[in-house]
Amino acid sequence: MPSAIQSMTRRIIYSYVSRELLLSFLVAFLFFFVVFFVNQLLLLAEDILEKRVPLWDVVMLLIYSLPSIVALAVPFGTLVGGLMAVGRLSSDNEIIAFQGSGIALRVLFLPILFWGAVLSLFSFVTNDYLLPIGNMNLVTRYRELIMSNPDLEFESHSVQEYQDLVLVTGDVSDRVIEELLIIETGRRGRERVISAGRAELFEDAERPGVFSLRLSDVESHDPVSGDEEDHDFFTSEEMTYNILLSDIALSVRNPTAREMSSVDVWEMIEEQRKSLDRRKASHREDIRKLERRYIGEYIEASGAVWGDGYELATAELAETFAELRTEQERNITSRSLQINLIEFHKKFSIPFACLTFVVLAFPIGLRTRRSGRAVGFIVGLGVSTFYWGLIFAGQTVGTEHQNVPAFLAMWFPNILVVAIGVTSYALKRAR
């Protein structure tokens, strides 16, 4: 009978603490969601809204952006929500009441730990499954917008690269570009440069899939046969330049590792590792060839008679030795592999920060004595900023210094948070 009562008491406590946590989490999540949503809306306002894109398309772009917003809002909402919930219980002396009734702190922590794990899984699924789907639809819809509204992609004072074209624009307003530079790359094995004082964008109704630029005050430099000193040059008061919309649509960036699922990223990493291994094997073979050549030249120089032959042999030997040293010191690495490894670990470290955050939130919240929710909210914002700074620093250091393990670069903030939480809890128990 006592065990049944004890079991019922624990269920009541678990339910009570869970309700408190989830309520605080909901408030904190909505706060971060609104912040990230407004940020995304401002980005769209800068790139799309000012181009008078239909409202429904803007709404769809926002919907496709929601997974990335949710994936970030959940971990930080868990941290702030946990601090608010435990802080409220502590400031109202409910923690002391529980302990006075014989309820251990670990019993109060179990439901918080459980929901931290649940929210981690939810954040991971959102980041790993829903985000790639949303991004794929986002890119598809943006390409459709470009096809229907080609001036969407042109911005003032910018450099835009499309397939074999580079466009450098001046002021852009109402489909009119002041000062335009067009650089054709990769066509006929040479580059052609066209400059115009003014360009007007218009669509050719008779040729769908093509839009045209009516250029004024035109100058063109067209190299002949790749010879820099031999080129065609002409000027014109007016010229029409056509661009395929498919070139622009294809230039919209493809998903990076951040927008791909962890499985797809891992497959890409494995391919890059195989490619790196082949490069390293080729590098080792080059070193062995240089070593054999160096030994042969050393033997030849040792047997040479003093004079011109000896000087030539020693000069070749020194040159080969310098080449060998340079090759031995060359470190074969892959920056793209390191970046993808960082993104792979980031896909796990940020979602599962929910779990590490509750480990920190519980002992920190226990120390709150007044205005538990308000203090928890403020402390949570500070910790969130600190954590995000560590993530950014880890990503920067891991990218710039490839000797830093990607795992450590992305998981160090979580490890530090857990260490602080465990230490704080131990100190609390020791009092």
How far apart are alpha carbons 427 and 424 in whole angstroms?
5
How far apart are alpha carbons 424 and 359 in whole angstroms?
10
329 CB burial (10 A radius; 0-12, 13-18, 19+): exposed
pLDDT at 153 over 70: no
Please tell me which of 97-111, 195-209, 240-254, 299-313 the model is most confident about, judged by mean pLDDT. Answer: 97-111
Q: What pairs with residue 182 in β-bridges?
A: 167, 194
pLDDT at 420 over 70: yes
Considering only the C-alpha atoms of the chain, give the largest distance between any 2 of them, rounded to a whole number of Å.
107
In the chain, the amino acid numbered 248 is: I
Q: What pairs with residue 298 in β-bridges?
A: none
Contact 131, 259 (CB under 8 A): yes
* pLDDT tens column, 345-368: 999 999 999 999 999 999 888 887
State the residue for tokens 């002992």. 363
Task: Report, as an integer, the average pLDDT of 377-393.
Answer: 90
Q: ∠ at Cα 367 (109, 108), nearest 5°? A: 15
How confident is the model at residue 304, as a pLDDT?
A: 54
Q: What pairs with residue 199 in β-bridges?
A: 177, 215
Contact 72, 145 (CB under 8 A): no
How far apart are alpha carbons 98 and 109 in whole angstroms?
12
CB atoms within 10 A of CB 26: 12
Model pTM score? 0.71
Task: Report, as an integer, the average pLDDT of 94-117.
Answer: 87
How confident is the model at residue 350, as a pLDDT?
A: 92
Percent of the chain at pLDDT > 70 equals 78
Res. 250 pLDDT band, cuts 50 70 90: very low
Q: Locate 275 and state its tokens.
A: 């490619």
The helix (H) or strand (E) run that includes residue 214 is strand 210-224
Q: Locate 84 and state its tokens.
A: 């608010």
* pLDDT tens column, 389-413: 999 999 999 888 888 899 999 999 9
**48: closest CA among 146, 123, 162?**
146
